Amino acid sequence: MRILVTGGASGIGAAVCRHLDGIGWTAVPADLHAPEGGLALDTRDEAAWESALDAAGPLDGLVNCAGIRSRSGITELDLADFQKMLDVHVIGTFLGIRGMARRWSAQGRTGAVVNIASVVATHAVAGQIHYVAAKGAIAAMTRAAAVELAPVGARVNAIAPGIIRTPMTADRLTDPDQTAWLMSRVPAGRPGEPEEIATAVAFLLSDAASYVNGALLPVDGGWMAS
Ligand SMILES: NC(=O)c1ccc[n+]([C@@H]2O[C@H](COP(=O)([O-])OP(=O)(O)OC[C@H]3O[C@@H](n4cnc5c(N)ncnc54)[C@H](O)[C@@H]3O)[C@@H](O)[C@H]2O)c1
């Protein structure tokens, strides 16, 4: 199985690549700066997506994991920051799904897509309206793409990570007040590790999930259940 993983240079994406390589698949990481053995890709850039998908060769799957996070109250949030959040996550995920589906159609192949959403896709938090909007849209696009591509045998699912220990969350998980607030949301009482997302990604990509389509799978220590 050959899988393109955006955001593959860091955090969850890097853990996904390690895990897929570890189970004998081939992960092709793609990130803003080409990781070792990988590709350069800015998910906001349509032409860059075309180049990356062509360079990756025939693929069995795509993991849309690239992402950014920032905090701002609604009254302070710049339009440019809102737009960038949507471009990286929403436009990026759309361009990936579209490019992948076009190639599977042309090549007579099919496969699976896993989009990395977030618990905030359904459970809003204050100070992140742009991130909440982007992740909600990823969850909605996952359902739309799953419904549309199911007849050609493709599956499109999403994962909703809770709070996972990566460079993106290092500031929050080293701040005692932030950590206490976050842990009050997590019945498991601890952050997740990137490898705990990677194993769920591998499941959704694999034939073990052959009848799972359009799902938003929480991997969150129970956050969304509470
Ligand atoms: N860490 C968490 O707690 C958590 C929780 C829920 C969802 N997520 C999501 O998981 C994904 C991975 O996050 P992470 O925690 O591993 O963060 P991270 O910062 O460690 O990794 C994000 C990666 O995405 C890349 N990236 C950013 N913008 C890009 C762009 N325009 N094009 C290509 N690559 C780009 C970065 O260079 C980086 O390598 C993100 O979509 C994030 O929103 C993370």
In a domain, 226, yes or no: no
In a domain, 90, yes or no: yes
In a domain, 169, yes or no: no
CA neighbor of 45 nearest in space, from 28, 32, 58, 27: 32
Domain extent at residue 133? 2-164+194-221
Q: Name the residue of 10, 51, 163 whose CB sits within 8 Å of the most ligand 1 atoms, as the mutation to test its pocket.
A: 10
For residue 69, report the distance from its CA to the centre of ligand 1, in Å: 8
211 is catalytic: no
C-alpha to C-alpha distance for 44 and 170, rounded to whole angstroms: 25
Ligand 1, pocket residues at CB < 6 Å: 6-7, 9-13, 31-32, 41-44, 65-69, 88, 116, 118, 161, 163-164, 166-169
- Please, which pLDDT band fits residue 126 given cuts at 50, 70 and 90? very high
In the structure, how many helices (H) and strands (E) does the chain have?
8, 7
In a domain, 181, yes or no: no
In a domain, 44, yes or no: yes
What is the reported pLDDT for 27?
98
Average pLDDT of the chain, as a whole number? 98
Structural domains in the chain (count): 1
> Tell me: the pLDDT tens digits for 156-201?
999 999 999 999 999 999 999 999 999 999 999 999 999 999 999 9
CATH number at residue 119: 3.40.50.720
For residue 66, report the distance from its CA to the centre of ligand 1, in Å: 5
Q: Which residues pair with 157 in a beta bridge?
A: 114
E strands in 1-107? 2-6, 26-31, 39-40, 61-64
Helix, strand, coil in percent for the chain, rounding step 5: 50, 15, 35
In a domain, 216, yes or no: yes
> Tell me: the pLDDT tens digits for 49-97?
999 999 999 999 999 999 999 999 999 999 999 999 999 999 999 999 9
In a domain, 149, yes or no: yes
What is the reported pLDDT for 96?
99
For residue 151, report the distance from its CA to the centre of ligand 1, in Å: 31
C-alpha to C-alpha distance for 168 and 97, rounded to whole angstroms: 24
What is the reported pLDDT for 190?
97
What is the reported pLDDT for 159?
98
What is the reported pLDDT for 131?
98
What is the reported pLDDT for 22?
98
103-122 average pLDDT score:
98
In a domain, 8, yes or no: yes
